[in-house]
Amino acid sequence: MRKIKEKGYSSQIFIYYLLNLQTMPIEITTVGGYNEVGKNCTAIKVDDAVVICDMGVFLENYIKLTEDEDIINISTPKLMKAGAVPDVSAIEDWKKDVKAIIPSHAHLDHVGAIPFLAKKFKNAELLATPYTTEVIKAILKDEKMSIPNKIKTLSPNAVYNIKKDTKVEFVNMTHSTAQAAMLAIHTKKGIILYANDFKFDSTPTLGKKPDFNRLKKLGKKGILALIVDSTYAPLKAKTPSEAVAKEMIKEVMLGTESKGKAVIVTTFSSHLARLKSIIEFGKKMNRKILLIGRSLAKYVKAGENANIINFSKDVKILKYKRQIEKEMKKVNKNRGKYLLIVTGHQGEPKAVLSRIARKEFPFHLKKEDQVIFSSSVIPTKINQENRERLEKEISNQGVRIFKDVHVSGHAAREDLRDLINMVNPKHIIPAHGDQQMRKALFDLAIEMGYDKNNVHLSKDGNRIAI
């Protein structure tokens, strides 16, 4: 508008511009996460303001370039070439209008590209819940990286004004990491609800249950578009509570004879609720608890900085090779007195569990030791191959393996149905999934009575006008 005035256009043209501005559609660019499970990134343009929701890595490609589950200092062009981070050239024409980058939670496939890509949007603020903020700061500090963007920490139920008539609201949600949120982008034209990722857990073991009341109120106000996680859309079920996973862990850890045997548990490093349960039962086993690996140390430290947990009083955290080797010598002499919580649940070759299996530490597996995988395999070819290889190495040493001691953090088909009924969106955009997953959500929406023109099956780099 300022440019029109400066160029001396007539008042009639200026008024015409203003009237058309009111009728301009909201544009949504599906930057990443619409061809694959990961690399999540969606840009929403309202008039002259752009908000980017999530900026994650694609783990299948990224894991080939990284160690453990952590960011390492790799050049952005190399990551882009490998398809490990979103191709933000899809929004090059929006670059100067980006006002905020808002990760919905702390998983790498939602925040992992921030250290590399946020600098391309120097005028954008970074808005996140306390735990997500601490994870991002920890990554930047650990890898000696920096971003020019101002970081603002908001509570899981905060409302923040991005500009006049545009604000973001964090709606507290449950997922497999702490302080996840749905992002409600409020505009004059309606609300865009970004629900990527989530589960409906009414009995969480850490943190508060989802804010169902707020979702219902938002639904009554009017949801113009719902951008929603499709990863488990093909599963005709309701995703169980984390309380169910806790009982599964209890059954294995306390209900299996392990006297004199090594017990090793591996899970997602950012899953603080799961780690809390594992530590609780490790204490009941009267074992000294060692938490081993870079990414575990990073996420636990972030959780402690955000005042969500205080694991340090109960466990010894080992991050560096020399530390690990020193403690492993003690474990090898008294294997029945320790519980090892380690990285490597996806079979990552450089993670701690794979290195134990390959006898790279002064602690070796023995017959009828126990390895508990409190995780699922992320459905990508490289993860499946790595896990199969690791399990074979462990089995060949006579070790007992307990797989899938786990419940998902993703909403299954019936949870998705409940969300759609709760918020009653005009448009639905399936996200975070391959073609089969997103098509399953499309089919659900059609089954529920939606017009196919209002359910948008997009791809990476596409743009939708609503």
Segment 14-42 mean pLDDT: 78
pLDDT, tens digit, 9 for 90 and up, residues 58-82: 877 876 776 555 566 677 878 877 8
pLDDT of residue 66: 63
pTM (2 decimals)? 0.90
pLDDT of residue 24: 79
pLDDT, tens digit, 9 for 90 and up, residues 190-227: 999 999 999 999 999 999 999 999 999 999 999 999 99
pLDDT of residue 14: 43
3-state secondary structure of 77: helix
179: exposed, middle or buried (Cβ count in 10 Å: 0-12, 13-18, 19+): buried
Instruction: Decide if pLDDT at 157 tops 60.
Output: yes
Angle of helix 212-221 relative to helix 413-423, nearest 10 degrees?
A: 50
* Edge-first strand listing for the sheet containing 427-431: 159-163, 166-173, 180-187, 190-195, 223-229, 427-431
- CATH architecture designation of domain 242-402: 3-Layer(aba) Sandwich (3.40)
pLDDT of residue 10: 42
Tokens of 259: 């006297």
Instruction: Decide if pLDDT at 15 tops 50.
Output: no
Radius of gyration of the chain (CA): 23
% of the chain exceeding 70 in pLDDT: 93
In the chain, where are the structural domains located?
25-237+409-465, 242-402
Segment 329-353 mean pLDDT: 95
End-to-end CA distance of the chain: 22
Report the sign of the C-alpha dihedral through residues 154, 156, 158, 161, in that order: positive
Phi, psi (deg, nearest 5) at residue 450: -75, 145
Segment 388-408 mean pLDDT: 96
pLDDT, tens digit, 9 for 90 and up, residues 249-274: 999 999 999 999 999 999 999 999 99
Taking CA atoms, 187 is separated from 169, 170, 217, in Å, by 11, 15, 16
Q: Which CATH class is domain 25-237+409-465?
A: alpha beta
Residue keyed to tokens 């959780």: 303
List all residues 6 or more positions away from 418 whose beta carbon is below 8 Å from its beta carbon: 200
* Mean pLDDT across the chain: 92
Q: Which of 260, 291, 229, 159 is nearest to 432 (CA)?
A: 229
Cα(218)–Cα(223) distance, integer angstroms:
7
- In 3-state terms, the chain is what percent helix, strand and coil (to 5)? 40, 20, 40
pLDDT, tens digit, 9 for 90 and up, residues 115-152: 999 999 999 999 999 999 999 999 999 878 899 999 99
